[in-house]
Amino acid sequence: MIELNFTTIIIIGRAALTYVTFAVVIIFVNVVVRNSSMEGVRTVTLKSNSSFSAAQRRGDHIETHKRWAAGQNKQRTIEKNTAKLEEDTEDLHNDLVDMDVGKIIMQARQEKNLTQKDLATKINEKQQVIADYEQGRAVKNQAIISKLEKALGVKLRGKDKGKPLGSTKKT
């Protein structure tokens, strides 16, 4: 974001000069120039720096409009109800992965002779995600935990943490 401060001269009649100082903020967006002349008001959208500079030199009124969240596609959605969160007054925080789950992930990964990168590619995540889960700094995501359970063959949730996935049979 660049902020330009400059002074324009507005000529009223032939004798009176008025100095007006204003700021223009360029945010790499379309700039609308309103040129008031005898024909009326004409709105033009500028897309280049040269036409923007020319409008500044002419002293045209310049407006900038920012497009919000353009091209920012998100993959993961918020799992909590936002309306409920707004009404809630209690202490809100994200649940992090427990350290014992991180140790279980690390031990199971080493038993299968996998590196963090190998495990990450196996579950289609980044290596940093695996490192965060192993160190207990990651926010719990049930989809990722489920993928880790399937890839490692170890339960990471519930009372049977650390046991193999197929060992839920009662004798």
For residue 101, the model assigns a pLDDT of: 93
| Number of other CB atoms surrounding residue 74 within 10 Å | 7
Q: Cα(160)–Cα(164) distance, rounded to whole angstroms? A: 9
pLDDT single digits (tens) 24-65? 333 344 455 555 554 556 677 777 788 878 888 888 777 776
More confidently predicted of 58 and 23: 58
pLDDT single digits (tens) 127-142? 999 999 999 999 999 9
For the chain, what is the HEC assignment? CEEEEEEEEEEECCCEEEEEEEEEEECCCCEEEEEEECCEEEEEEECCHHHHHHHHHHCCEEEECCCCCCCCCCCCCCCCCHHHHHHCCCCCCCCECCHHHHHHHHHHHHHCCCCHHHHHHHCCCCHHHHHHHHHCCCECCHHHHHHHHHHHCECCCCCCCCCECCCCCCC
Q: Cα(33)–Cα(44) distance, rounded to whole angstroms? A: 5
| Region 136-153 average pLDDT | 93
For residue 126, the model assigns a pLDDT of: 93
Q: Hunting for tokens 């965060």 — which residue is that?
A: 132
| Region 4-16 average pLDDT | 39
pLDDT single digits (tens) 71-119? 665 555 556 666 666 666 666 677 888 899 999 999 999 999 999 999 9
For residue 27, the model assigns a pLDDT of: 38
Where is mean pLDDT largest: 2-6, 15-19, 54-58, 121-125?
121-125
For residue 154, the model assigns a pLDDT of: 94
pLDDT confidence tier of residue 123, bands split at 50, 70 and 90: very high
More confidently predicted of 25 and 169: 169
Q: Cα(6)–Cα(59) distance, rounded to whole angstroms? A: 11
Structural domains in the chain plus CATH codes = 2-64 (no CATH), 99-152 (1.10.260.40)
Q: Cα(122)–Cα(147) distance, rounded to whole angstroms? A: 9
